[in-house]
Amino acid sequence: MDAILLQVLNGLDKGAAYALIALGLTLIFGTLGVVNFAHGALFMLGAFCAVTINKVLSLQKVVLSQTETTAWGTPLEIRTPFAQEWFGDFGLTIIDYSVPLSILLAIPFMLIVGVVMERGLIRYFYKRPHAEQILVTFGLAIVLQEIIKAFFGANPIQQNAPELLQGAIDFGAMFGDPGALVYPLWRMVYLGFSVVVILSVFAFLQFTTFGMVVRAGMADRETVGLLGIDIDRRFTIVFGIAAVVAGTAGVMYTPILPPDYHMGMEFLVLSFVVVVVGGMGSLGGAVSAGFLLGILQSFASMTEIRDLLAKVGIVGLDQIIIYLIAIVILLVRPRGLMGRKGVME
């Protein structure tokens, strides 16, 4: 029982990342009809927002000590971050919380990146064949990746969660069985964060006038345009929002996975599968398929199940289960779990 719960939790936090990227993907897809192969790169850009903020905050002032010397007899260098020098202990707290704080940078930055991307490049491709849309966004993904690589190098850069959130929660202790179910605190934060983001995107689309117009545009773009509404401008903003969702997902994921320049592409392939399984153009489908596939993947990597499968002669199912499920779903329900009729056919 504990093991099953643990796997569900494990699956949920991985699924949360898939769901967030897939949500943005399907949002762009449903509004603009473009498959954005650069969406993984946006996730990666978000993660590197966190890296940048951390680097900037921990800029250090180096003073040569007058009295102390190192073991080699040279004057000892005293390094103090500027943040500490200016704000004292509060500065240290700021550095500690660099990852959550990066969201403040990531939101405007990703919004700008998204809008520039859409206005500057992607809008010229609405009327061109799908193959060319895929190719141009794919090329863009390579460019973004390589720019990041040129600035930050090819190695993963470790980011730490705030000290307060680094520990683990002992769920077992809450139910009178300490140690039975221990789970890292940050992953719970991530899960909570993604639920909040997903709910707010849905609320935005469901309860605001802007969201209503966007939904109307998704259903019938031409008619909304004929009613005198500038739907293109709203769709541009939707693209920006999708970029923000992917970017903040990347920011919060950094303590779980040290970011490197090609992390986006690995997530992108899986997120595509998630979108296809959930059904192209269906937001609910994308989110639920994200969590579903995340949980299934973590179940397939459970030791017990692996042993069981190994006895039947199946090894390494956890590596390929997502793809297998996608194939089965597409064969049985070609539109995906919640796909709408007439989208991209």
Partner 1 sequence: MLTLFTKSSEKSDLLLLALFAIVVFAMPIWLAPFGAAYPDLMQRFAIFGIFATGFNILFGLTGYLSFGHAAFLGVGSYTAVWTFKLLGMNPIPAIISAVVVAGLFALVIGFISLRRSGIYFSILTLAFAQMCYNLAYSVLTPITNGETGLRVLQDDIRLFDAPTVGEGAPLISHIGGIEMQGMPGFYFCAVLLIVMVGVAMRIFRSPFGMMLKAVKTNQTRLNYTGVNTRPYTLAAFVISGMYAGLAGSLMCVIDPLAGAERMQWTASGEVVLMTILGGVGTIIGPIIGAALIKYFENIFSAFNDQTLDGIFSFLPEPLKEGVVNVTSLFVGDGWNLSLGILFVLIVVFLPGGVTEGLNRTGKFILRRFGIGRDPENEEKTSPAPGE
Sole binder of partner 1 in the list 92, 150, 199, 219 (CB under 8 A): 150
CB 217 within 8 A of CB 235: yes
First to last CA, the chain: 43
Site size for partner 1 (CB under 8 A): 41
Q: Convert residues 8-47 into a mask of x (bound to partner 1 by CB under 8 A) and - (unbound).
A: ---------------------------x------------
Read off the tokens for 123: 């809008």
Q: CB of residue 287 vs partner 1: minimum separation in angstroms?
A: 18
**Residue 173: both structure tokens together:** 């202790």
Distance CA 262, CA 97 (A): 25
Question: Exactly one of 108, 139, 178, 225 binds partner 1 (CB under 8 A); which one?
Answer: 139
Nearest distance in Å: CB 262, partner 1 = 9
Go through the chain and tell me how many residues it has: 345
| 247 Cα distance to chain centroid | 6
Identify which range of 4-12, 104-112, 133-141, 182-190 contacts partner 1 by CB under 8 A: 133-141
User: In angstroms, rounded to a whole number, what is the distance separating the alpha carbons of residues 161 and 252?
Assistant: 9
Pick the binder of partner 1 from 73, 129, 176, 313 (CB under 8 A). Answer: 129
33/28 Cα distance (integer angstroms)? 7
d(CA 139, CA 210): 32
Taking CB under 8 A as the rule, does residue 310 contact partner 1? no
Give the H/E segment covering residue 281.
Answer: none
Q: In angstroms, what is the minimal distance from the CB of 158 to partner 1? A: 22
Question: What is the binding site for partner 1 (CB under 8 A)?
Answer: 35, 121, 124, 128-132, 134-136, 138-143, 145-147, 149-150, 265, 269, 272-273, 275-276, 280, 315-316, 319-320, 323-324, 326-327, 330-331, 334, 344
